[in-house]
Structure 1
Amino acid sequence: MMDVRPLHNEQDYNWAIGEVTRYFEAQPAVGTPESDRFEVLTTLIREYEDTHYEMPHVDPVQVLEFAIESMGKTQAGLSELIGRNRASEILNRIRPLTLDMIRKISAEWNIPIELLTPQYAMARAYA
C-alpha cells in the first residue's frame, strides 16, 4: 500500500512530484494510510530538493522592491507600517530592517519572514 521508494535521480523525483500532486485535489484524511504516504513522499521530495537544488540568496530589500513593483504594494504603505523615514532608509540600504519591522511587514504584506531575515548589503555602515 505504501508504494514509496527513495529518490535517487530526476526520474524518481518527477515520479514523486506526480504522486503528490494528486493529493492536492483530494487531500487524504489525517491518520489514514494515504495521509501517511503523502507525508512520506513530501519528506522525500524536500530532502531531494535540499540536496540537489541550491536555493538562491534572498535580498530582503529586493523582496520589498518586488512587493512594491509587482504585488500592488507601495512605498507609502511600507511607510505606514514602519515609519516614513525608515521605509526610505531601508529601501536605500541606509538602515537595516529590525525584527519588529520584519514581523509587521510579514503579517501585513503576507511575505514569509524567511525572505526578510537574511543579511544584506548596506550602502554604508549603520551605527
Structure 2
Amino acid sequence: MNTITITPIKTESDYQNSLRRIDELLSANPEPYSELDDELDVISTLVHAYEQTHYTIPYPDPIDAIKYIMEEKGWKNKDLEPFIGPKSRVSEILNRKRYFTLQQIHNLHKHLGLPLEMFINEKVLQAA
C-alpha cells in the first residue's frame, strides 16, 4: 500500500497545483474506493474549502433572480401572486418600489428555492 501525502491548500500556488493534480487523477479514471479515488476525494474537498474562502460568488440581485426564473418558466407577474400577494404588490416589488416582507421572502425561498442569503446580505443591507 502506497502512502499518499496531501497537504493543506494555503496559497494560490498550492491551489493551482491541486487543480493540476485533480486533472491528473480524473484522467487516470480511478477505480471506486481505490487509493487514487480517495486522493481525488480528499484533494477535491480541500479545493472546495479553499474556493469557498477565496473565490466566493456573490448572490445575484433577488429581483433579477426572480425575473430569470419567470423567464425560464414562462411565467407572468400573476404567477407570483401566490408567493408575493396581489398584482399591485408584485408590480411594486418587480419595479423596485417596495422590498419584500419576511413572509414573501419565506414563500419565495420555500416555493422557488431561492436562498435566504440572496434577500439579506451586505449589498441589500447597504442599500436599505
Q: String of CA shifts for 1:6-46, please: whole Å, max 9, x gaps.
A: 231223135358869x8xxx7x8xxxxx5xx84x5454223
Instruction: Return the index of the structure with the highest Cα Rg.
Output: 2
3-state SS, counterpart of residue 104 of structure 2: helix
Q: How far 1:89 moved relative to its partner? A: 0.9
One-letter amino acid matched to 2:18: D
| Aligned position for 1:12 | 18
Q: Which stretches in structure 1 are left out of the alignment for 5+ residues?
A: 29-33
Select between 91-100 and 69-78 the one with higher mean Cα deviation: 69-78
User: Identity, % of aligned pairs?
Assistant: 28
Q: Which has the higher contact order (CA 8 A, sep 6+)?
A: 1
Q: Which stretches in structure 2 are left out of the alignment for 5+ residues?
A: none
| Aligned position for 2:50 | 48
Structure that is richer in helix per residue: 2
3-state SS, counterpart of residue 96 of structure 1: coil
Q: What is the alpha-carbon distance in structure 2 between the residues aligned to residue 55 and residue 111 of structure 1? A: 15
| Aligned position for 2:106 | 103
One-letter amino acid matched to 1:12: S
One-letter amino acid matched to 2:108: I
Q: What is the alpha-carbon distance in structure 2 between the residues aligned to residue 96 and residue 106 of structure 1? A: 15
One-letter amino acid matched to 1:117: I
Q: How high is the TM-score relative to the length of structure 2?
A: 0.62
Q: What is the alpha-carbon distance in structure 1 between the residues aligned to residue 90 and residue 126 of structure 2? A: 16
Question: Number of residue pairs matched?
Answer: 113
Q: String of CA shifts for 1:82-119, please: whole Å, max 9, x gaps.
A: 21222111101111112211111111112222223331
Q: How high is the TM-score relative to the length of structure 1?
A: 0.62
Following TM superposition, where does structure 1 have runs of at least 4 consecutive aligned residues deviating by more than 4 angstroms?
16-20, 40-43
RMSD of the alignment, in Å? 3.6
